[in-house]
Structure 1
Amino acid sequence: MFNPTVARLTYRALLGRRRALILCALPALLLVVAAAVRAMVGADDEVTTQLLGGFALATMVPLVGVIAGTGAIGPEIDDGSVVYLLSKPVKRPSIIVTKLIVATGVTAVFTAVPVLVAGIILNGNSQQIAVAYALAAAVASVAYSALFLLLGTVSRHAVVIGLIYSLIWEALFGSLVEGAKTLSVQQWALALGEKVAGNGADVTSSVGLPVALVLLVVVTVGGTWLAGQKLRTLTLAGDE
């Protein structure tokens, strides 16, 4: 299902100069803030969980996911260049799976790695907090990539819709409104982080681990399948 040619083209599109600068902005901000906080307040587990949970997982990860997920296919559909890809003897589900893998990899690199480094800066990975949030970021990267890849196939306004979803649902309702937390990707991913950190750390999720795993699988598999189905409906000029 993985196509190296599609992967290479997708990586090239996502890591172009302009998009790469955008992808680097939030992780760089996280690291600068982490260094400043450590210098001002020292190692503090509570402050670490607040920064990694409130900014990194709730805001940075979904925003990077929007850029990578929608950027993996949305621009090709918008400008019509996707027809050149569809004209090749490549199965359309293979195109979606390959783009999902690339988008997930890019999102994880630009989120999980900075989260881990920021956590180490903040408290030296005390109580496994840095590792817990890095794992949560990596897991969330998969679900966000599938969700925003699907969005990129169904709407020409995928980036705007994704930004609204990220900033309002995930960053606001998913963090503050109790009922909405059950339907928040960040809370599902955080359930794995809670398992890694253990009872001693203040890393908690509003969703139990079994339910979180099921929901993560449903969103990832469902989003990928729907994106593949949508791509199947795209026809080339001149097709019957």
Structure 2
Amino acid sequence: MSTVYHPTVARLTYRALLGRRRAMILFALPLLLIVISVAVRMLTGADDSTAREVLSGFALATMVPLIGVIAGTGAIGPEIDDGSIAYLLAKPVKRPTIILTKLLVAMLVSVGFAAIPTFAAGLILDGNSQHLAVGFAVAAAVASIAYSAIFLLLGVVTRHAVVAGLVYALVWESLIGNLVPGARALSVQQWALALASKVADGGAVSSDVGLPLAVVLLVGVTLVATWFAGRRLRSLTLAGEE
């Protein structure tokens, strides 16, 4: 575990992610989902179709990738931007360990702020009818893991990681990934929906990607993004190393 997880790096990352400004955004998005779910339930009652639209259209397509942006880029991007990463890289900690630790923290934060509220929203909307709450919670969890790796990579490779992440989350995942049929196969949202369709009752959730391919793509993207982020961090040099 010493080559995968470093407690001090994890503590510093948790502190950065759950600082006042980021924590407010992290809490605001799930709270908004719950408020929407309560309002919809009061107005329409328990309805599977409405629940599916809210959980897919807002929770999975918008809230989950935005939380991934905050957690993934926030795990390392600010340290690179302000140069404080130099102090961490100067410590006797292997750089892959830094990436893996920060990724694990980002994943835990993303899953906690995305999957749990999604499950709660599903219970509010229709009481887990057709296992929609469980199915979308599983989808939110696996999507959060992939998003964390993708956005952590963005935090390493560009100083505009948040902007790039928002463009990806709001334009590609929320807009193009929902409207353009050919682009759906390259959407984390659709890959996650494939797992939701497996967990929920037959026909309750649909995806444009088959389950075997979705699993391969989710695992592959997560591993490749993690590997490339570690490789990119290893290429960073301190002034004293040049």
Instruction: Give the C-alpha shift of residue 155 in structure 1.
Output: 0.3
- TM-score w.r.t. structure 2 length? 0.98
Equivalences for residues 74-113 of structure 1 within 5 A: 74-113=77-116
Q: What do the CA deviations read for 1:146-173 (whole angstroms, capped 9, x no partner)?
A: 0000000000000001001100000011
Q: Is the 8 A contact 2:95 2:234 kept in 1?
A: yes
Partner SS state of residue 28, structure 1:
helix
Number of equivalences: 239
Q: Is the 8 A contact 2:13 2:102 kept in 1?
A: yes
Amino acid at match of 1:170: E
Instruction: Give the C-alpha shift of residue 195 in structure 1.
Output: 0.2
In structure 2, what is the equivalent of residue 12 of structure 1?
15
**Aligned partners of 2:203, 2:226: CA distance in 1, in Å?**
37
In structure 2, what is the equivalent of residue 237 of structure 1?
239
Q: Is the 8 A contact 1:127 1:200 kept in 2?
A: no
Q: What do the CA deviations read for 1:76-107 (whole angstroms, capped 9, x no partner)?
A: 00000001000111110010011110001101
In the alignment, structure 1 residue 165 sits paired with structure 2 residue 168: yes
Amino acid at match of 1:24: F
Partner SS state of residue 91, structure 2:
coil
In structure 2, what is the equivalent of residue 3 of structure 1?
6
Q: Is the 8 A contact 2:197 2:203 kept in 1?
A: no
In structure 2, what is the equivalent of residue 21 of structure 1?
24
In the alignment, structure 1 residue 40 sits paired with structure 2 residue 43: yes
In the alignment, structure 1 residue 68 sits paired with structure 2 residue 75: no
Amino acid at match of 1:67: I
Partner SS state of residue 88, structure 1:
coil
In the alignment, structure 1 residue 128 sits paired with structure 2 residue 131: yes
Partner SS state of residue 238, structure 1:
helix
Amino acid at match of 1:208: G
Q: What do the CA deviations read for 1:86-145 (whole angstroms, capped 9, x no partner)?
A: 011111001001111000110111110100000000000001000000000000011000
Q: Is the 8 A contact 2:86 2:238 kept in 1?
A: yes
**Aligned partners of 2:154, 2:105: CA distance in 1, in Å?**
16
| Segments ≥4 residues shifted beyond 4 Å | none
Q: Is the 8 A contact 2:63 2:114 kept in 1?
A: yes
In structure 1, what is the equivalent of residue 224 of structure 2?
222
In structure 2, what is the equivalent of residue 114 of structure 1?
117
Q: Is the 8 A contact 1:52 1:119 kept in 2?
A: yes
Q: Which runs of 5+ in 1 are unaligned?
A: none
**Aligned partners of 1:152, 1:20: CA distance in 2, in Å?**
18
In structure 2, what is the equivalent of residue 182 of structure 1?
185
In structure 2, what is the equivalent of residue 197 of structure 1?
200
In the alignment, structure 1 residue 212 sits paired with structure 2 residue 214: yes
**Aligned partners of 2:96, 2:213: CA distance in 1, in Å?**
27
Q: Is the 8 A contact 1:54 1:175 kept in 2?
A: no
- TM-score w.r.t. structure 1 length? 0.98
Instruction: Give the C-alpha shift of residue 200 in structure 1.
Output: 4.5
**Aligned partners of 1:78, 1:12: CA distance in 2, in Å?**
17
